[in-house]
Structure 1
Amino acid sequence: MTSQSKNNRLLPLTVIEAAAGGDVEAINAVLKHYAGYIARLSMRELYDEYGNPHLCVYEVLRRRLETKLITKLLTFRVR
């Protein structure tokens, strides 16, 4: 992976600063950026009535992780 493609995955500092300042659009941009990661952390193996396992996003956990991210964003101080 080249240095250029790694930088494309980073959030711009202006978005982080705006999110830390409470800008709703910037907070949504941060949530969108981390949506896949949060979904992956929220995956749980559930079983149907026949005992077959299924991977599903546990919505309660996903919302808790999003809320925690927003809380930390709003207390984040950019130097």
Structure 2
Amino acid sequence: MRNRKLLPYETIVQATSGEPEAVHAVLSHYAGYIRYRARSFGNSNSDIEDYIQTKLIESLFKFRFL
């Protein structure tokens, strides 16, 4: 039984190795959450949204599997 809310393991592995399509899939998966967190006083802040996306991409490349 598979949890459809989670990203597939293969996508995460590909994203950590720098595959552009997989990185895009990760960003798309978290787009709603990023948009929600980038809201400031009820308004969307694109600078904060870009900052969060950049930090997510940076952390993808730092992630190591055991």
TM interval, shorter chain, is over 0.9
**Structure 2 residue aligned with 1:26:** 22
Which 5+ residue runs of structure 2 have no aligned equivalent? Answer: none
CA-based RMSD of the aligned residues comes to 1.2
Deviation at 1:77, TM superposition (A): 0.8
Determine helix, strand or coil for the equivalent of 1:69: helix
Question: Is 1:78 paired with 2:65?
Answer: yes
1:68 to 43, 55, 59: 55
Deviation at 1:68, TM superposition (A): 0.1
The structure with the largest strand share of the pair is: 1
Greater Rg over alpha carbons, structure: 1
Which 5+ residue runs of structure 1 have no aligned equivalent? Answer: 46-54
Inter-partner Cα distance in structure 1 for 2:65 and 2:7: 14
Q: TM-score, normalised by structure 1?
A: 0.79
1:16 to 12, 16, 19: 12
> Identical aligned pairs, as a percentage?
38
